[in-house]
Chains A and B, each alone.
Chain A
Amino acid sequence: MKRLLRYFRGYGKETFLAPLFKMLEALLELLVPLVVRNIIDVGIAGSDKPYIAKMCGLLALIAFVGFGVSVTAQYFAARAAVGASAALRRDLLAHVLTFSYADDDAFGASTLIARLTGDVDQIQNGINLTLRLLMRSPFAVFGAMIAAFAVDKTTALTFAAVIPALFAVVAAVMAVSVPLYRRVRERMDGSIVAQRSALTGVRVIRAFGQERTEETRFRRANALFTAASIKAGNVSALINPLTCVLVNMAVIVLLHAGAIRVNGGAMTQGEVVAQYNYMTRILVELIKLANLIITITKSIACANRVEKVLDTAPSMDHPEQGAVPDMTAPAVEFDGVGFTYPGAQESSVEGVDLTVRKGERIGVIGATGSGKSTLVNLIPRFFDATRGTVRVFGHDVKEYDEETLNRLIAVTPQKATLFRGTIRENLLWGNENADDETLAAAVAAAQAGDVIAAKAGGLDEPVEENGRNFSGGQRQRLTVARALVKQAPVLILDDAASALDLATEARLRKALAELPERPAVFTVSQRVSSVMGCDRIVVADDGSIAAVGTHDELLETCPVYREICESQGITR
């Protein structure tokens, strides 16, 4: 929780004023029993109607002032809650954005989205109620006790006895129910996964006739969720009856003791009524608290989830002031590089040594799972090598600041995604300041000219979420163009042409070879035709490099490569 407390810092005034006005409100309410006592002891006892009228006017005045005070308190509470949670949401997103590929994989997108949206909303709700009530309640309760002592010390001792007991009950119920509600939420996550899976897999489930089995599985998950909810609810339902019992018992003791003291002349009837009223006020206050404690409990469970994300330090850090690239050094060097995915037992890449100069075209080929994507992902530091060093232009990639490293390397990731906006906006990702000429050149080289020509809006054609208004091949060419706009000295194409037909891909290869900036190009592919023209071809096999060489050399010397070629009907 400590981490979350700092979000109140910018709202110091509000977090202070909201409870303060709530206390004022409670204080005003404490006056009410005193006024009623006077009505009884002075007004009724003396049959003084004007006095009674005056006192009732006072009650109305207290109500009016109380109204003003509490509206003010609500305003400050709302400001603090909305402000702090907006800041929290922002920081949470900013933090998630610093995550490395490995951190992202560890959490998964759906739970991150849930935490950024639903959980933060629940926290906002919780803060609002906490400021309004959690502060007010102790004050109202203790205030009632102090007032009771002012009325009559002996009978007020019942207050001193019952109040700690009341707080113990509230604290105990909360302590038990917070973990219970956290479990409810976790089981909800599990049930949502099952629902999503049933919907996305509906064809497969029906094809295998597994509807009943899946239904049974879901029923089980749902029953677990329900059981957790019932348990949490039953525990929360204890607060009200328990506080009610404690308070009523206290009232009984109070009236009994009051009777003795009135008989002995130490107290008046009106004073007994006042004490009784204070006690009931405590009850009313606690019932209110109990009704909201569930919301607060749920928020705490959510806060824990959010905190878990915030507490995950990004597994990678970048120096503020990074190294300056030495443009005369080799573009990329692998020096005894190995990589093992977190949690995996076997390494995905092992003992890789490779030096690539600017202007060289490198093909990377290999079977599914042979580690070829992993290898190129180490260059832009999507993952850090677990052994050895990856150098770009003379320096370990870990020595660069993010900005510099990013400028040096352009990537088209395996999954071709575009973002909501226009084609132009998507292309400008490579370089904010690119002019239309640069864009046109990149589009032409990426063979995406016809994609743009086919759209009514041209470069300004809108792109829907995830680029779903474009076909796979269109998206792929646009993501290549996006990378080319960057004009970086290292270009990585990770399976970037898999959806293109052979002729288009050949034109793309030719255009890439003629790029004016002469970058070092890494082409990762399963097709021999995509890499056979490269200056050197790296053959990945089960996490290590089987051989490096030109197409002709490899055909002679590398059996793995030969096998790949044969499978694609290429013999020469």
Chain B
Amino acid sequence: MKQKAPSGTLRRCLREVGNHKILVALSLLFAAAEVFFTLYTPLLFGQAVDRIIGVAKTDVSLVDRPLITAAAMTAACAVAAWLTGSLNNRMACRTVQSLRDGLYAKINTLPLSYLDSHPTGETVSRMSSDIDRFADGLLLGATQLFSGVLTIAGTLVFMLRMNVPITAAVVVLTPVSLFAAKLIAGRTYGFFSDQSNLRADQTALINETAGNLKTLRAFHRQGRYLGKFDALNDTLKKVSLKAVFWSSITNPVTRFVNSLVYAAVALVGAFTAISSGGAFTVGMLTAMLNYADKYTKPFNEISGVAAELQNALACAARVFEMLDAADEAPDGDLTPETVNGNVEISEVCFSYDKSKKLIEDFNLSVKQGQKIAIVGPTGCGKTTFINLLMRFYDTDAGTIAVDGVEIRQMKRRALRSRYGMVLQETWLNPGTIRENIAFGKEDASDEEIVAAAKRAHSWSFIKRLPQGLDTVIGEDGGSLSEGQKQLLCITRVMLCLPPMLILDEATSSIDTRTELRIQKAFDEMMTGRTSFIVAHRLSTILGADRILVMDKGRIIEQGTHEELLAKNGFYTKLFNSQFA
């Protein structure tokens, strides 16, 4: 939580804010006006008080003169204050808006290796709560720090003009409150970090509970989980009480110090008023007391928000860290004219963890329209193979060429649009069924969509949904079954019909009867199209032109089903254990 933000973070934050120069400049201008008016008004009130001399000696019209000026200033002050507030608010909101947009855009340019190694929850928390906290800090900083500093400086000027000794007393005494606040903050920090650790534990438990309500219910374990939660909740309560209490006494402490300053000003001021023989008036004392109050207030506020600002900086640092992560290798610029679907893989080496070799000397030549089945035990490198084909990851050595063009020289989009991909994990976008099916072809007509759905056998369930194609599916596919989600993913590819296909155990959650129908549709789709199929199903393997048998990252055997069986090697063993 409170780790120190790397140096330069503050400067970078200021640079981000600097993108909204006009807002900042206007805000500064209005804040200065606000502070000036706020500070000048007590002076006018003091003058009025001084002109209230006594019975029958007071000229009311003389009293009114500064009051009229004060009225005008108040109005101006209010306008300036609102403008400052709303400009700051706008500046903070706009700054974080562009940061959020930037982070989102960053997701699209980051290499998959980054995204695969950072849990989704962590990245989402950077984009949401970290940025939120940064926004809060920014707003606090803009309003408190800036107008605070201006107020302090302004008050000093006004006070010095009236009386030097009293001003000196105020200046000397005020840092005491800062010191006290710092003392308490040090104590509170320990409680806060205990609190955040416990809170993380509790959140993990809540995650597990709320995410698996169905299983909990199936075993009637609600009571037991509540018991676990209670124990944690009680401990958290105790620690939170300490953290909340200790942090909340900062304010009384600083207020106490300020009250003492106030008493001191009253004392010195009253003595001065007596001894100065009229040079230091009661009105000035009143104004002075008012200034003493105004002068100390920003110190309280700044000390109050110092911890939050620190925290905001730490959050900003996490955001910048992600923004600064290295991007994918630059895009190529070729878009091959021919679209045949020939793939040439030569001497490819690749591994995720560079100390552990995975794929080595991988050679494969695929001609247009061939069907390649990839089989092997878990972890043999099948998914990795797809990562390389789609250029989700770049090879460490060797080349992959599609239709005669090395894929690094090709536009990623041109490469990927040649493949239709159905992965094992189904992913659907929150939105309507129509939007999901037309994901790769936004201008598709309803007729095309329905036709694709019929061919992929998803139409029978789509038409039964409450709003048909316009049914909105929530996060993670909402209430659709795993099989239905998979059918939608297939429909999505069915609509685009690219020249090459990558199917990763695409049909594992679909019943065999439906699968058979889909298989027919696939067969039709695969005619003339190069296809790579990662499969555990017998039917897929038997229909393949070539089977790649992979183990530990290498292609150890390849050939047709009959050829491989005849070899009586690894494939035969695998086939007998998995398919026979």
Contact = CB atoms under 8 A, between A and B. Distances in A.
Interface stretch (B260-268, B361-369, B527-535): B260-268
Given A56-B263, A501-B578, A264 B55 contact: yes
Given A97-B209, A368-B484, A64 B256 contact: yes
B93 A70 contact: no
B421 A204 contact: yes
Contact of B107 (A94, A198, A222, A527): A198
Nearest to B487: A368
B74 A249 contact: yes
B115 A202 contact: yes
B464 A199 contact: no
A284 B256 CA distance: 16
Nearest to A199: B120
Interface in A335-378: 341, 343-346, 366-370, 373
B477 to A, nearest CB: 11
A90 B229 contact: yes
Contacts of A344: 465-466
Given A193-B475, A195-B124, A368-B487, A244 B77 contact: yes
Interface residues of B, number: 154
Given A196-B124, A233-B86, A255-B52, A44 B475 contact: no
Contact of B45 (A55, A81, A276): A276
B204 A465 contact: yes
Interface string B259-288: 110111011001101100000001001100
Contact of A70 (B100, B252, B428): B252
A198 B511 contact: no
A367 B513 contact: yes
Most buried by A among B81, B237, B270, B509: B270
Interface stretch (B13-21, B168-176, B219-227, B562-570): B219-227
Contacts of A108: 474-475, 478
A109 interface: yes
Contacts of A255: 45, 48-49, 52, 63, 67
Interface in B200-223: 202-204, 206-222
B255 interface: yes
Contacts of B508: 498
A62 interface: yes
A71 B578 CA distance: 72
B335 interface: no
B360 interface: no
A230 B85 CA distance: 11
Dominant secondary structure of chain B at its interface with chain A: helix
A445 to B, nearest CB: 18
B45 A93 contact: no
A272 interface: yes
A568 B512 CA distance: 7
B107 A199 contact: yes
Contacts of A345: 464, 466
Nearest to B84: A237
A195 B264 contact: no
B215 A417 contact: yes
Given A263-B60, A482-B219, A199 B124 contact: yes
Contacts of B390: 203, 206-207
Given A75-B245, A108-B474, A238 B82 contact: yes
A93 to B, nearest CB: 6
Interface string A223-241: 1011001100110111011
Given A77-B248, A192-B128, A198-B104, A259 B51 contact: yes
B558 interface: no
Interface stretch (A1-9, A111-119, A510-518): A111-119
Interface in A90-133: 90, 93-94, 96-101, 104-105, 108-110, 112-113, 116-118, 124, 128, 132
A369 B484 contact: yes
A259 B115 CA distance: 73
Interface in B477-494: 478-479, 481-484, 487, 489, 492
Contacts of A413: 214-215, 218
Given A241-B81, A369-B483, A202 B421 contact: no
Residue from A63, A90, A259, A403 with most neighbouring chain B CB atoms (10 Å): A259
A472 to B, nearest CB: 9
A210 interface: yes
Contact of B461 (A208, A213, A343, A369): A369
A97 to B, nearest CB: 4
Interface in B537-575: 538
B282 A273 contact: yes
A422 interface: no
Contacts of B340: none
B255 A67 contact: yes
19 contacts: A40-B285, A49-B274, A52-B266, A57-B263, A59-B262, A104-B214, A196-B124, A200-B476, A202-B112, A203-B112, A206-B416, A207-B419, A237-B89, A244-B78, A248-B77, A255-B67, A263-B56, A415-B214, A526-B512
For the complex of A and B, list the 7 residue pairs with the smallest distance between their C-beta atoms, beginning with the closest.
A237-B85, A368-B483, A63-B259, A233-B89, A59-B263, A241-B78, A406-B220
